Amino acid sequence: MPPPVLIVGQGIAGSALGWACEQAGIDFEIADAGHGPAASRVGAGILNPVTGRRLAPTWGFDAWIGQSVALYRAMEAAVGRPLIRPMRIYRRFRDAAERAALSARWGPGEVAPAHVGPRDADGFWIEDVWQVDTAAVLAELRARWLRSGRLRIGAASVAAEAARRDVIILCGGAEVADAFDFVPWERAAGEILSGMTTGLDPGVILHRGHWVLPLGADRARVGATYEVSAGEARPTPAGRAELAQTARELLAPDGFTVTGHEAGVRLGTKDRRPCIGRHPTTPRLGLLGGLGSKGALWAPALARQWVNHLTEAVRFDREVDVGRFFRPCCADEAR
């Protein structure tokens, strides 16, 4: 029998891939050195159909949301606790200029009409939103795979493992950027506040530049900042002040009492698309990464692509195949 597929990293990408392999009957093992500064550790897991100030459709949402919800629902049934919930976003206008700009685009139908709901003088609704409890997903699967012996805690030596594995799939950590150094990676630090407040509708995410996510029992999170950075992510006074200001604007007069402040690193790409596939010159080495802030949305569909590739040799979608960045004669220019 062939040796098990080795998945390196048990963030949201590695967890989705491990789950997909388990359901497909693919023998696998996971090596995880801890989530450290990864975005999975602090991410809010918001599956939002529109993106940014221009309300552009989120890439991959309509094509992949069904797979994502189905995967998390299946996990829920297996572990016996809620992991995903439907939500709405009420997005308040930042200023008069934003209100005017969006109003001008509403008429021509440029603003994702399938997902943008009613508007009023202060803002508008975004429908078809979901929120994944990523911390619970990681914790439940970690416990599941520790019990079954599939997960080992500690770093994996990719060089050593390559000698005895047919496939090693990197799903996070420094190994991704080092092994696939021809990809134009972009690292972005993000900070999130946890705290206590009252009066929130449990099914509504408030948004005005940043979001306020209700967690129940008067708990909420406020996030996230975004700062392109090559260094490690650390909570900063500036980030705390920025998020606290958003909380004051969105939650007054109820207020927000900060109980926690965390930071993580999102690893994305210059073209804002995820990366998946085999290394062009070392095909035993695979990748599922570059998810940026869309990991909870994109990981399930990308995990399914890996399963289809491993079981039926199906090619990866060209839009996400990591080979799109590889130039054999000019690798330095692609970095």
The set of long-range contacts for 281-287, using a CB threshold of 8 Å and a minimum separation of 24, is 282/162, 282/179, 284/162, 284/165, 284/166, 284/167, 284/168, 285/158, 285/162, 285/168, 285/170, 285/179, 286/167, 286/168, 286/169, 286/170, 287/169, 287/170, 287/171, 287/176, 287/179, 287/180, 287/322
Locate the DSSP E strands across the chain: 5-8, 28-32, 46-47, 50-51, 56-57, 84-92, 116-119, 123-132, 151-153, 168-170, 185-196, 204-208, 210-216, 219-223, 227-228, 257-269, 275-278, 285-289
Show the tokens assigned to 266.
């999102």
Mean pLDDT of the chain: 90
Can you tell me the distance from the alpha carbon of 122 to that of 244, in angstroms, rounded to the nearest whole number? 21
Q: Render pLDDT for 204-227 as a digit per residue (tens, 0 to 9).
A: 999 998 999 999 999 999 999 988
Q: Render pLDDT for 286-312 as a digit per residue (tens, 0 to 9).
A: 999 999 999 999 999 999 999 999 999
Band of pLDDT at residue 255, cut at 50, 70 and 90: confident
pLDDT given at position 113: 64
pLDDT given at position 100: 80
pLDDT of residue 5 exceeding 90, the answer is yes
Q: Count other C-beta atoms under 10 Å from residue 175's C-beta.
A: 21
pLDDT, average across residues 35-63: 80
Residue-range domains of the chain with CATH = 5-45+133-184+270-334 (3.50.50.60), 87-130 (no CATH), 186-268 (3.30.9.10)
Closest Cα partner for 44 from 225, 169, 186, 208?
225
pLDDT, average across residues 156-172: 90
pLDDT given at position 334: 43
